[in-house]
């Protein structure tokens, strides 16, 4: 009996080492939505409408934090959902994925991360999900759902594909 207890204690400690105590239970990762033209553009009318769709699509998913790069299009993608959930959009540096991971791992509940076509695939794999990329410049509206401890990544489509 003592041996079984010792084995269970070691296994439990090993699992705790792999998974932070307060790690987010779901991580929703997406590319910003459709953008207008220009340098650091805002969302286009279509992108803004799709950002509103995030409220109905993700509003009941127990999201406790929303992270976005400091670009207008990324922040504007997360703002309607943040407003509906009475949260702030927290800026993150896409060049410092370790800091983003640490911030998300501190969340109790779920988190949404808004990135870019060149960062989303790496963010998904950083949180343990399978490879999902590369994303084309025309890929908008897919939310990748990563569940810590599982490599299978679910996909949610915000708007129908054309």
Are 121 and 133 a contacting pair, CB within 8 Å? yes
| The pLDDT value given to residue 24 | 83
Q: What is the pLDDT of residue 88?
A: 98
User: Quick one: pLDDT at residue 125?
Assistant: 96
What's the farthest any 2 CA atoms get from each other in the chain? Answer: 68
Sign, CA dihedral 43-47-50-54, equals negative
Strand partners, 150: none
pLDDT, tens digit (0-9, with 9 covering 90-100), for 108-149: 999 999 999 999 999 999 999 999 989 998 899 999 999 999
pTM, to two decimals: 0.85
What value does the mean pLDDT of the chain take?
88
Task: Write the pLDDT tens digit of every residue in 3-40.
Answer: 433 333 333 433 333 444 446 899 999 999 999 999 99
Instruction: Report whether 56 contacts 157 (CB < 8 A).
Output: no
% the chain with pLDDT above 90: 80
Distances 100 to 12, 28, 84 between C-alpha atoms, Å: 26, 13, 23
22-157: what fold?
A: Rossmann fold (3.40.50)
User: How high is the pLDDT of residue 137?
Assistant: 87
CA distances from 1 to 12, 15, 23 (A): 16, 21, 32
């Amino acid at each position: 009996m003592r041996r079984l207890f010792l084995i269970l204690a070691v296994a439990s400690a090993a699992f705790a080492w792999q998974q932070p105590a307060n790690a987010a239970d779901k991580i929703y990762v997406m590319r910003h939505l459709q953008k207008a033209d220009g340098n650091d553009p805002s969302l286009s009318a279509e992108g803004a409408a799709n950002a509103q769709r995030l409220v109905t699509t993700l509003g009941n998913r127990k999201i406790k934090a929303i992270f976005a790069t400091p670009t207008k299009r990324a922040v504007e993608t997360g703002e309607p959902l943040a407003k509906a959930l009475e949260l702030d959009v927290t800026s993150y540096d896409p060049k410092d994925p370790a800091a983003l991971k640490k911030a998300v791992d501190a969340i109790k509940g779920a988190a949404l991360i808004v990135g870019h076509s060149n960062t989303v695939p790496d963010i998904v794999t950083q949180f343990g999900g399978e490879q999902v990329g590369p994303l084309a410049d025309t890929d908008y509206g897919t939310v990748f759902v990563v569940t810590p401890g599982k490599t299978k990544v679910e996909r949610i489509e915000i708007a129908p594909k054309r």
